[in-house]
Structure 1
Amino acid sequence: MARTPAMPKPTAAELDLLQALWPLGAATAKQVHEAMAVDKPAINYGTVLRLMQIMHGKGLLIRDESARSHVYAPAQAQDSLQTNLLKDLMQKAFAGSAKALVLAALRTGVSRAERAEIEKMLRDDQS
């Protein structure tokens, strides 16, 4: 039986672009550039367009070419990609231990509000 090829792992710059694109759902390079420029005013439109073209080539984005301005969308939902990246990190950095990953995350500066939310989630899960 043939295995499905693994989805490529996005670079840090590609993740930044996906963070801007996920809320939009599908968008032109211009729309993504405008969304990214809110947090990174120095970002260049040409850089965004080129990155989106590269991401399309890697399979991270899908592209609708039916209109004059191509419309791009993430090839994978945010929660799905995050889950895959987390599993990969857990295997590589924590020897497959979810407990070790969670403990490391909790040691890196969880706010009181976040800690309370985590504790509530754990209590609710035991009910």
Structure 2
Amino acid sequence: MNFKQIAKDTAKTLQSYLTYQALRTVLAQLDETNPPLAFWLHNFSAGKIQDGEAYIEELFREKSDLALRIMTVREHIAAEVTDFLPEMVRTGIQQANMEQRRQHLERITLINLSDPHLDTEQQVRSDPNLDNLSE
């Protein structure tokens, strides 16, 4: 497992996501101040935002002022969120993993009492929750 490559790929994905968030912010601002430009930017951006850097590069060729504006907003968003991100990601993954394990355990221990293939005695013996009733 190449952790350095995983980190680089993750950083690139995050960078593209922050570009997307910056675009959303700029679009919201333009909706208030310049609706025709917002409409143009929305149409221009459709389907192009997957790779943030390629998107910015193409936007520079069309309207460099918008590219600069999105880059500035992206940089500001990055400065605000990156301090919290490592801990939030670790905690989020740990909590999500615990929840997935809990749901999996519930699924594999769930006995369908209406299953015609099991007689009642087998259902009772296989139910782990009934073991605790005698205590």
Structures share fold, TM-score greater than 0.5: no
TM-score by length of 2: 0.24
Structure with greater helix percent: 2
Larger-Rg structure: 2
